[in-house]
Structure 1
């Protein structure tokens, strides 16, 4: 099972998103975890590699199981996604890299930018809500959302 860590930077009412060239979909910078790496270390490393900036005030916001099914409903792939949020960054992000184009977008744009539907809810929760979100997303091989099961928790003070 692959393990993926991504990070949504939030600053001045905007979020830093990467537009991937293949589908034109928007994602939070991130990627595969390396052997022996913690989810936190992976999120920081991937963010820095893809943006050339350093995230500030980093927090885990979501843990998700992603399941890909074929036309017969059989599972063909599965991975874990760990989503972090940073409240600001140090440095100026690159405009483009081998993974895609980076730019700041108003938080509200997450509602309408092209992206996987699971990501939309995940990223909105990460930047707008307190607490953690957990869940499972089931997709077709073309990333059409089949089902989503979500739970949230809030820390008591």
Structure 2
């Protein structure tokens, strides 16, 4: 069993809604659960990292992009139970708004495809549950940062 399956406690993760030219970067999941579903790049927080540092590092590792973290856009709790009602997965994902600085997304086993999507429609892609409100909040933060 993976250390992420049937955890003893919730796992803390960080992600980022990266904006470039008014569009948001979505990454296709390369592994189950959710293989082929689009979401924000991100991953687990490492000891000693702030949430924002983890989001920035995960974006770089997963996509090859350098980004500037603008602000906190919200969180999601992912709790999956098995047929017996036991907690099979439990993640708390803290999402940030980020501005693209440099680089182009590089596909990998973890994220085999990327799309710079319209933040209002997400290009009608299959996306993870609860993604739209996070992106809407991130988009508002990016807009506030640009007018400040």
TM-score normalized with structure 1 length:
0.70
- The aligned residue for residue 79 of structure 2 is 67
Q: 3-state SS of the aligned residue for 1:44? A: helix
Query: In the alignment, does 2:21 pair up with 1:8?
Result: no
Cα shift at 1:68: 1.4
- The aligned residue for residue 91 of structure 1 is 102
Q: Give the Cα separation in 2 of the matches to 1:25 and 1:85.
A: 20
Any idea what the Cα deviations from partners look like across 1:34-77, whole Å, max 9, x if unmatched?
Answer: 12221111011001112222112521111232221234544333
Which structure 2 segments of 5+ residues have no match?
1-9, 143-148
Cα shift at 1:29: 0.8
Query: In the alignment, does 2:43 pair up with 1:34?
Result: no
Q: Size of the alignment, in residue pairs?
A: 129
Provide the alpha-carbon RMSD of the alignment. 2.2
Question: Following superposition of structure 1 onto structure 2, how do residues 50-129 of structure 1 map, counting pairs within 5 Å?
Answer: 50-71=62-83, 73-86=85-98, 88-100=99-111, 101-110=113-122, 112-128=124-140
Say whether the 8 Å CA contact 2:56–2:68 is kept in structure 1.
no
Say whether the 8 Å CA contact 1:111–1:120 is kept in structure 2.
no
TM-score normalized with structure 2 length:
0.74
Q: Give the Cα separation in 2 of the matches to 1:34 and 1:42.
A: 7
Larger relative CO (CA 8 A, sep 6+): 1 or 2? 2
Cα shift at 1:107: 1.5
Which structure 1 segments of 5+ residues have no match?
131-157
Say whether the 8 Å CA contact 2:107–2:114 is kept in structure 1.
yes
Cα shift at 1:95: 3.6
Q: Closer, same or farther in 2 for the Cα pair 1:70/1:120, shift >3 Å?
A: farther
Q: Give the Cα separation in 1 of the matches to 2:106 and 2:116.
A: 10
